[in-house]
């Protein structure tokens, strides 16, 4: 997998609140000659990254540094505004609790839908259904609407679906932090099997001990830019030195002011 010169921007509107009446629209917006101003928020800038097949990559950085945006780009949820991303193989992503789940559908129905989205046929997902439910330990709740699930139940079901589609690349964004210790250990055992089978794993985590234990390589994002990459222990050491000096003002997104008539 390779990222070359990847940048991603979002638009943040900073204009006054929207008009709530027709009169205010006429007086303030329609006749106003002041240009509307927006901010372009560069969540990522000029990221070059190579991930060798079969390795585990850890991504760390302060909140707002661009970690989740990077994972969404790799998983294909977002497209870069600049640069290219080359990904080979089936990708399964655990990015947000409940992402891709319909709250009014049952756990069983959501498993089938998510399995199809991740590339399995109906026949394949039905053949794996009992195993997925058993791994998630949700036999008693699988036919209940997922809006009734706790955060831990969401995580268990999402993780179980992701690992049972046998992806070539598994992407995890901090969601394992909501699980209890026993299920987290169960997930770790499954991920060990993935590593042994040559699966590429990309994870965002604030658990620095876990990052050093699991990862073959680490990258540190700061303000949307790749600050450092290499041996996990060295990257964690540099990151921790920065943490001691860090204030939230140190890591704004790169912002461009745009005037629009």
**Among 251, 101, 73, residue whose Cα is nearest residue 173:** 73
How far apart, in Å, are the Cα atoms of 34 and each of 16, 26, 29, 30?
11, 14, 9, 10
Tokens of 244: 């001691």
Q: Could you tell me the residue ranges of all domains in the chain? A: 52-246
Q: Class of the 52-246 domain? A: alpha beta
For 1, counting Cβ atoms within 10 Å of its Cβ (0-12 exposed, 13-18 middle, 19+ buried), the class is buried
CA pair distance 215, 87, nearest whole angstrom = 19
Looking at residue 149, its pLDDT comes to: 92
CA pair distance 201, 195, nearest whole angstrom = 8
Report the 3 state secondary structure along the chain.
CEEEEEEEEEEEECCCCCCCCHHHHHHHHHCCCCCEEEEEEEEEEEEEEECCCCCEEEEECCCCCCHHHHHHHHHCCCCCCEEEEECCCCEEEECCCCCCCCCCCEHHHHHHHHHHHCCCCHHHHHHHHHHHHHHHCCCCCCCCEHHHCCHHHHHHHHHHHHHHCCCCEEEEECHHHHCCHHHHHHHHHHHHHHHHCCCEEEEECCCHHHHHHHCCEEEEEECCEEEEEECHHHHHHHHHHHHHHCCHHHCCCEEEEEEEC
Count of CA atoms in the C-beta half-sphere (13 A) of 202 = 27
Task: Sort strands 56-60 and 217-222 into parallel, antiparallel or unpaired.
Answer: parallel
Looking at residue 37, its pLDDT comes to: 52
Tokens of 173: 């964004």
Q: Rounded to 5 degrees, what are φ and ψ at 247?
A: -130, 155
Report the DSSP beta bridge partners of residue 91: 169
Looking at residue 165, its pLDDT comes to: 85
Looking at residue 63, its pLDDT comes to: 87
pTM, full prediction: 0.79
Please list the ranges in the chain whose pLDDT falls under 70.
Answer: 13-38, 97-99, 175-179, 246-261
Is the separation of the CB atoms in 206 and 60 below 8 Å?
A: yes
Angle of helix 107-117 relative to helix 122-136, nearest 10 degrees, comes to: 130
CA pair distance 21, 190, nearest whole angstrom = 57
């Amino acid at each position: 997998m390779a990222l070359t010169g990847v940048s991603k921007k979002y638009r943040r509107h900073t204009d006054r609140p929207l008009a709530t009446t027709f009169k205010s629209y006429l007086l303030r917006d329609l006749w106003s000659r002041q240009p509307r101003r927006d901010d372009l928020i560069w969540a990522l800038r000029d990221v070059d990254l190579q991930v060798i097949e079969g390795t585990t990559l850890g991504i760390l950085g302060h909140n707002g540094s661009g970690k989740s945006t990077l994972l969404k780009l790799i998983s294909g949820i977002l497209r870069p505004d600049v640069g290219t991303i080359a990904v080979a193989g089936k990708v399964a992503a655990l990015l947000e609790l409940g992402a891709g789940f319909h709250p009014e559908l049952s756990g069983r129905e959501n498993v089938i839908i998510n399995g199809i989205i991740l590339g399995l046929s109906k026949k394949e997902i039905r053949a794996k259904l009992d195993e997925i439910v058993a791994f998630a330990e949700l036999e008693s709740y699988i036919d209940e609407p997922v809006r009734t699930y706790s955060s831990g139940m969401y995580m268990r079901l999402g993780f179980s679906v992701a690992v049972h589609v046998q992806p070539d690349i598994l992407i995890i964004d901090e969601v394992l932090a909501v699980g209890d210790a026993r299920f987290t250990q169960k997930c770790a055992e499954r991920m060990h099997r993935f590593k042994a089978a040559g699966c590429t794993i990309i994870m965002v985590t604030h658990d620095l001990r876990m990052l050093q234990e699991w990862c073959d390589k680490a990258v540190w994002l700061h303000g949307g830019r790749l600050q450092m990459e290499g041996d996990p222990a060295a990257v964690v050491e540099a990151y921790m030195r920065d943490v001691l000096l860090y204030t939230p003002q140190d890591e704004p997104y790169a912002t461009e002011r745009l005037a629009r008539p």
